[in-house]
Structure 1
Amino acid sequence: MAMSRLARSEAARGLLMVSPPALYALLLLAVPLAAILAFSFWSQDFLTIDFTPTLKNYREAFSEPLYMQLMLRSVLIAGSVTLATVILAFPIAYFVSFHVPPHRKSLWIFLITIPFWTSYLIRVFLWKVILGYNGVLNTTLQGLGITDEPLTFILYNANAVVITLAHAFAPFAILPIFVSLEKIDRSLLEASRDLGENHVMTFLRVTLPLAVPGIVAAVLIVFIPTIGDYVTPRLVGGPDGLMIANMIQTQFLKLNNAPMGAALAVIAMSIVTLIALFFLFLNRKYLRGRS
């Protein structure tokens, strides 16, 4: 009886401790998501909202070619940004983990996070200056005689969005990969080399497989916010670089059609959720296969 009362009291204390953050998350996350979901089944005529449930918004979203084109472009751009970011982040994380002395690793991590010190908007505007028609990059290339005229494919298109977002989210990819590499038992690498494997095969057979959880985490951390970004496409993307988030913003703020914007947001969130669950499934299956 005493043990039972103790267990109940500990459970009650634990529930009491968890309740405030759970309530906070419920109010700030679940309630807005529920509101967006409800809005997606309503309709709006300028400022008048009709609360009658309807699937009109979803039918229009899937039948209108522009919406599906923006959705596909968003997935492709987010995928390209994720691929570029992870490929560029892995060598940096590997270098810091395996080649930087332990007493200097914290300094390197500190340096990696320096971009967070400046505003996201400032970084996007800087890339606009760098990639512009008369920007730093084109001026340098022309000054060195590498090009005769400014490059036009690096600004106001999808390429500029990928470049800018890859730079903005690089630290988010470096840190989880670095943590995953730090957890690798160095004796496994020594055992691999003692068994006759060279450095390349040791990396491919030992280091890279053990770093997969960190890579998957980096993919999710970069992909999920990237597909919903609307600031960067608006500033550096041009007509060919706009994404679904820009259309959602237009529906809410310019066309006074919140239900249509909500429906597009629900579809985008559903696609992101399915892709994230797919990566988590692959990661879980991979870890089970190695255990």
Structure 2
Amino acid sequence: MTRDATTAGALSAKRDTVFTAAMLLPGALATVVLILFALSLVLFLSLRNNAGPLLGEGFTIENFVSIAIDPLYWTVIIRSLSIAGLVTAATVVTAYPVAYYLAFHAGSRRGLILFLVTLPFWTSYLLRVFAWKIVLAYNGVLNSALIVTGLQNEPAIALLNTPAAVVITLAHAYAPFAILPIYVSLQTIPTSLLEAASDLGARPFTSFRRIVLPNSMPGVLAAALVVFVPTVGDYVTPALVGGPSSTMIGSLIQSQFGKANDWPFGSALAVVVMLVILAVILLARHADRAFGSRT
């Protein structure tokens, strides 16, 4: 009986291993083919000359040297990081109260609010950007509302074609991506901790500062990364609602692959941006370890 039980256990473990491998295989193949292969190709192109065939010829670091010595690219990279940082801060700050309400106070309305949070995904991203273009235009909805209410006699707020328009539009577009991770993180906090704090005489703000906020930091950091990473390389929104002062690194990369037809240099720019983002992710991991869950 013992031998039969051991054999049955070994067969069960083998079946579990095969099942796990079968479940992981599609994702692993997609990761290798769609991500690692693409990244390898970008790195390969960044080390080529823009001459001869499509993939260039000869290996060189000239593209990276050009980026390093030209202040234009670093100015645009710093501007991209600044705009992405403002978007991330605005998105997380506005998303946290919504996620907090969903986690602790929504009750039976939670499903409806989650539906409303994800509702923007039902429309085209370009449509949402054009909507903000109409709102922020000099003669748009915002200035018209101020005139109708008597707060202004003529259009006075010129936000379109400015970095502020880019920040507002991107913060609205990525709000659901920030709300959901924070909400999930808040839901993992045991209500017994809050009840215990209340029983010990802690005021609501003290409970929030000492229990809720520290334990929700992993979700906050996840939301910040989910927002920051794509906004650094965004080029559609700056092109539609931003002006020359809002040009971001994604626009330069797109122009290298498009009008300039210089794929090696565009790939080098992309590699530099990825390295910058990697540095931000490492800082975020350090912050997560320093300010993560304290339970």
Q: TM range, normalised to the smaller chain? A: over 0.9
1:205-224 residue pairs with structure 2 within 5 A?
205-224=210-229
In 2, distance between residues paired with 1:163 and 1:181? Answer: 26
Question: Does the CA contact (< 8 Å) of 1:94 and 1:181 recur in 2?
Answer: yes
Q: Is residue 53 of structure 1 aligned with residue 59 of structure 2? A: yes
User: What TM-score comes out, normalization by structure 2 length?
Assistant: 0.91
Would you say the 8 A contact 2:216–2:292 is kept in 1?
no
Partner of 1:184, secondary structure, is coil
Q: Percent identity?
A: 45
Distance 1:7 1:179 in 2: 32
Report the Cα distance in structure 2 between the residues aligned to 1:167 and 1:287, rounded to whole angstroms.
27
**TM-score where L is the length of structure 1:** 0.93
Moved more, 136-145 or 243-252: 136-145
Offset of residue 183 of structure 1: 1.5
Shifted more, 141-150 versus 153-162: the winner is 141-150
Name the CA distance, whole Å, in 2 between partners of 1:49 and 1:179.
Answer: 44
1:93 paired to 2:99 = yes
Q: Which residue of 1 aligns with 2:196?
A: 191
| Aligned residue number for residue 109 of structure 1 | 114
Q: For the residues of structure 2 that align with 1:155 and 1:286, how far apart are their CA atoms?
A: 38
Aligned partner (choices 253, 265, 269) of residue 258 of structure 2: 253
Alpha-carbon offset, residue 79 of structure 1 = 0.5
User: In structure 2, how many angstroms separate the alpha carbons of the residues matched to 1:151 and 1:253?
Assistant: 37
SS class of match (2:192): helix
C-alpha distance after superposition, 1:108-129 (max 9, x if no partner): 1111111111100000000000
**Which letter maps to 2:185?**
S
Whole-Å Cα distance in 2 between the matches of residues 185 and 49 of structure 1? 55
CA offset digits 1:268-290 (Å, max 9, x no partner): 111111101211222123347x3
- Does the Cα contact within 8 Å between 2:143 and 2:157 map onto a contact in 1? no
Q: Is 1:21–2:32 an aligned residue pair?
A: no
More displaced 10-residue stretch of structure 1: 78-87 or 17-26:
17-26
Aligned to 1:73: 79
> CA 1:99–1:11 in structure 2 vs 1: closer, same or farther (change >3 Å)?
closer
Is 1:276 aligned to 2:266, yes or no?
no
Distance (Å, rounded) in 2 between the aligned partners of 1:6 and 1:113: 41
Aligned residue pairs total 289
SS in 2 for 1:250: helix
AA matched with 1:17: M
TM-superposition CA deviations, 1:140-186 (whole Å, max 9, x none): 12333323443454110110000000000001111111111112111
SS in structure 1 at match of 2:58: coil
Q: Helix, strand or coil for the counterpart of 2:50? A: strand
Of 44, 47, 66, 2:50 maps to 44
C-alpha RMSD of the superposition: 2.0
**Contact preservation (8 Å) 1:47, 1:256:** no
Q: Give the equivalent residue in structure 2 for 1:62.
A: 68
How much does 1:221 deviate? 0.9
Q: Which moved more, 1:254-263 or 1:277-286?
A: 277-286
- The residue identity in structure 1 corresponding to 2:26 is P
The yes-or-no answer on 1:126 pairing with 2:131 is yes
Residue ranges of structure 1 left out of the alignment (5+ in a row): none
Q: Is the 8 A contact 2:136 2:158 kept in 1?
A: no
